[in-house]
Amino acid sequence: MVKLRVNGEDRSFDGDPAMPLLWYLRDELALVGTKFGCGVAACGACTVHVNGDAARACATAMGDLDGQQVVTIEGLSNDGGHPVQKAWRSQNVAQCGYCQAGQIMQAAALLKQTPNPTDEEIDAGMQGNICRCGTYQRIRAAIKAAARGAV
């Protein structure tokens, strides 16, 4: 039995320990903000936080999560008021929006580790998150705005 906290709530899982966290979140908890992108941890659409660090839910096995804390886009803020979410809106980052939950979760983890990142640090910290619409300049601007508190 795997016991974990998801978005502040105690949960348990008694299934296949190899099951990816992504499917547990989406299929069992109905937390569908975390998206399936590639299934091999290469695109970042499924990014969540595990113990405060960005992690790819498609490649994180449930068996590795006993005693861990998971935060999804739904748990980042109950009202969309996290500084990164506010910056995303103020900078009109999203186009199609599919990758944006993962982008936001990666950016929030980046800012937690590097509160005032340079362009190079933003590029390095976000390089594993792919946006097929190409909104990278707006993503960078939103991260800078969130870092400055200008939202």
Q: What confidence score (pLDDT) does residue 93 get?
A: 95
According to CATH, the superfamily of the domain at 2-75 is Beta-grasp domain (3.10.20.30)
Instruction: Encode pLDDT of 31-46 as tens digits.
Output: 999 999 999 999 999 9
Single-letter amino acid code for the residue at 138: R
**pLDDT over 70 (residue 151):** no
The answer to whether domain 83-148 has CATH 3.50.50.60 is: no
Please provide the DSSP assignment of the chain as one string. Answer: -EEEEETTEEEEE-S-TTSBHHHIIIIIS--TTSPPS-SSSSS-TTEEEETTEEEEGGG-BGGG-TT-EEE-HHHH-SSS-SHHHHHHHHTT--SS-TTHHHHHHHHHHHHHH-SS--HHHHHHHHTT---TT--HHHHHHHHHHHHHT--
**pLDDT over 70 (residue 144):** yes
Q: What confidence score (pLDDT) does residue 131 get?
A: 95
Instruction: Encode pLDDT of 46-103 as tens digits.
Output: 999 999 999 999 999 999 999 999 999 999 998 999 999 999 999 999 888 899 999 9
Q: Given CA atoms 24, 25, 29, 35 in this order, what sign does their dihedral have?
A: negative
Place of tokens 């870092």: 147
Domain ranges of the chain: 2-75, 83-148
**Cα distance between residue 143 and residue 113, in whole Å:** 13
Read off the pTM: 0.95
Instruction: Encode pLDDT of 93-127 as tens digits.
Output: 988 889 999 999 999 999 999 999 999 999 999 99
